[in-house]
Chains A and B, each alone.
Chain A
Amino acid sequence: MVRQWVRAAVTVVALTTGSAQAADPFIVVQSTTSTQNSGLFDAILPWFEAESGIDVRIVAVGTGQAIRNARNGDGDVLLVHAKPAEEAFVAEGWGVSRQDVMYNDFVIVGPKGDPAGVRGGSDAVAALTAIAQTGAIFVSRGDDSGTHKAELRQWGQAGVDVAQASGGWYRETGSGMGATLNVAAGMGAYTLTDRATWLAFGNAHGLEVLVEGDPGLFNQYGVILVNPEKHPGVRAEAGQRFIDWLVGQDGQAAIAGYKLDGEQLFFPNAR
């Protein structure tokens, strides 16, 4: 019996020492689900890691949560897509400065049956107005993410009070983009999604892009170094090196080179 316990204990120790943590330098990047779910990071990070020897650890959450985590000092770099919130983050001193990295766009997807008749349009506000009028189900992120903020801006312009419709034809999932697309697919509902997550999404049956090409659906990503003066623990040097690479020639080329089924997902536009 005793021998068996010893054997069990040895197994436990072997299990735990087998994967000791790497001592390589690393940075923590607070980012959004769209950049991770689309596979962008998996594609471009190996380039940077090979060149710099710095391990990039991505925490992918909604933009709102990413900004709050960074404000708490739980990250060295912030890479999100909600320009006004990013500028406020820097203005309040939490971030050093903000730089454009890349863009793509949002699209409105919905059921093939298209009960609100918005197919083929390029005017998001008109499409949302039609959806609200027919009372067709619309699924919202409802999580203070960059996509959610963009969606709320469009509803504001359409003059629709979605808070009032919440629980009725307007359903807030409070989850990431992929989870929300799963809900939309399951209910045959409309939703607003970034194009990258949509193209990489594997459970789209029944849904298709109905509205695209509205200049109001522009989706800009920005990168910010968390301010080491606010949080002395920030790995500023390694973080800055990652930012320089991202907005530099190599990083921008890597972003442009990431394609899914021949389609480019993000368009570099650093200055």
Chain B
Amino acid sequence: MQDFTQEFTIALGLIFTGDPELWAIVLLSLKVSVWAVFIAALIGMPLGAGLAVGRFPGRRALIVLINALMGLPPVVVGLLVYLMLSRSGPFGVLQLLYTPTAMIIAQVVLVTPIIAALTRQVVETLAVEYDEQLRSLGVSRLSSVPVLLWDGRMALMTALLAGFGRAIAEVGAVIIVGGNINHVTRVMTTTIALETSKGNLALALALGAVLIALAVSVTGAVSVLSLRGERQGLGHA
């Protein structure tokens, strides 16, 4: 254990003395996950809000389905996206396999249900709260969606962060569709998997520490941003 602690310290030192390859990997991790969350939000937020205020047959079943899809196994999603993007698959001509775009696609599939389900819950609560007010103003259900989304923006930030957490920590899907190709599709999690398989456990753990630090800083930055936003919002009220 003494040896391991020492190795770990050395590995951390190596990382922070600015290995440019590592920073490229960190940046790619961020790029893929941020894009995935952004696209997933574009799909998941309207979907979740629609489920919250809409009244149509099959709505209950759809809500149950979206909730269940939050637990999608990444490996299965990776395999499905691989089959779609493979040269022998329906979208093979696009030549997207083993590119960051393929990784973003897989993560969008994983993250969208999380954002949709959490959005649904936030908007539904607000819709009940504001029901009378909205009705007295003569706002229809559908046109109340932007208002409710805006009002719930702080809670929705948590939905985005939950999605980001899933994306940045995920390895099963991106290693299949990305291929863990050096300088092209290698991200933090696949690097950690590779170093573990090489038996470089201290280095793998040090990389894990960097990944956690990254997640904490992103979450922290968003929290500060939304807190400041909240205070300004109060000032205007």
- Interface residues, chain A, with chain B CB atoms under 8 Å away: 1, 4, 8, 12, 15-16, 18-19, 21, 28, 33, 36-37, 42, 57-60, 69, 72-74, 175-179, 181-182, 185, 200-204, 231, 233
In the A-B complex, list the 4 residue pairs whose CB atoms are closest, starting with the nearest.
A178-B197, A73-B87, A203-B199, A202-B199
| A179 to B201 alpha-carbon distance, docked (Å) | 11
Q: Hey, which chain B residues are within 8 Å of A8, CB to CB?
A: 225
Q: Hey, which chain B residues are within 8 Å of A185, CB to CB?
A: 199
Known A12-B38, A16-B35, A200-B198; further 4 A-B contacts with Cβ < 8 A: A4-B228, A12-B34, A21-B184, A28-B181
| A73 to B88 alpha-carbon distance, docked (Å) | 7
Report yes or no: A182 in contact with B181, Cβ–Cβ below 8 A: no
Asked if A233 meets B92 with Cβ closer than 8 Å, knowing A4-B229, A57-B184, A60-B180, the reply is: yes
Q: Hey, which chain B residues are within 8 Å of A181, CB to CB?
A: 199
* CB of A148 to closest CB in B, whole Å: 15
Binds A, one of B23-31, B108-116, B137-145, B162-170: B23-31
Report yes or no: B199 in contact with A178, Cβ–Cβ below 8 A: yes
Name which residue of chain B comes closest to A176, CB basis: B197
| A258 to B38 alpha-carbon distance, docked (Å) | 44
Name which residue of chain A comes closest to B87, CB basis: A73
> A72 touches which one: B24, B86, B197, B201 (CB < 8 A)?
B86
Asked if A178 meets B34 with Cβ closer than 8 Å, knowing A1-B233, A59-B181, A73-B87, the reply is: no
Asked if A1 meets B232 with Cβ closer than 8 Å, knowing A28-B98, A182-B197, the reply is: yes
> B196 touches which one: A19, A33, A58, A178 (CB < 8 A)?
A178
Query: Chain A: interface secondary structure?
Result: mixed
- Interface residues, chain B, with chain A CB atoms under 8 Å away: 24, 27-28, 30-31, 34-35, 38, 86-89, 92-93, 95, 97-100, 179-182, 184, 194, 196-201, 225, 228-229, 232-233
Asked if A179 meets B196 with Cβ closer than 8 Å, knowing A15-B30, A16-B35, A73-B86, the reply is: yes
> A37 touches which one: B28, B197, B201, B228 (CB < 8 A)?
B197
| A18 to B28 alpha-carbon distance, docked (Å) | 10
Report yes or no: B87 in contact with A202, Cβ–Cβ below 8 A: no
Report yes or no: B31 in contact with A1, Cβ–Cβ below 8 A: no
Asked if A59 meets B199 with Cβ closer than 8 Å, knowing A8-B225, A12-B38, the reply is: no
Q: Hey, which chain B residues are within 8 Å of A204, CB to CB?
A: 199
| A109 to B148 alpha-carbon distance, docked (Å) | 63
Report yes or no: B99 in contact with A21, Cβ–Cβ below 8 A: yes
| A40 to B215 alpha-carbon distance, docked (Å) | 33
Name which residue of chain B comes closest to A61, CB basis: B179
Most buried by B among A21, A33, A58, A59: A59
> A16 touches which one: B31, B228, B232 (CB < 8 A)?
B31
Report yes or no: B31 in contact with A201, Cβ–Cβ below 8 A: no
Report yes or no: A72 in contact with B199, Cβ–Cβ below 8 A: no
Name which residue of chain B comes closest to A180, CB basis: B197
| Listed A/B pairs (21) with beta-carbon separation below 8 Å | A1-B232, A4-B229, A12-B35, A12-B38, A19-B28, A21-B99, A21-B184, A57-B181, A69-B86, A72-B86, A72-B87, A72-B89, A73-B88, A73-B92, A74-B86, A178-B198, A181-B199, A202-B198, A202-B201, A203-B199, A204-B199
| A58 to B181 alpha-carbon distance, docked (Å) | 6
Report yes or no: A233 in contact with B95, Cβ–Cβ below 8 A: yes
Name which residue of chain A comes closest to B233, CB basis: A1
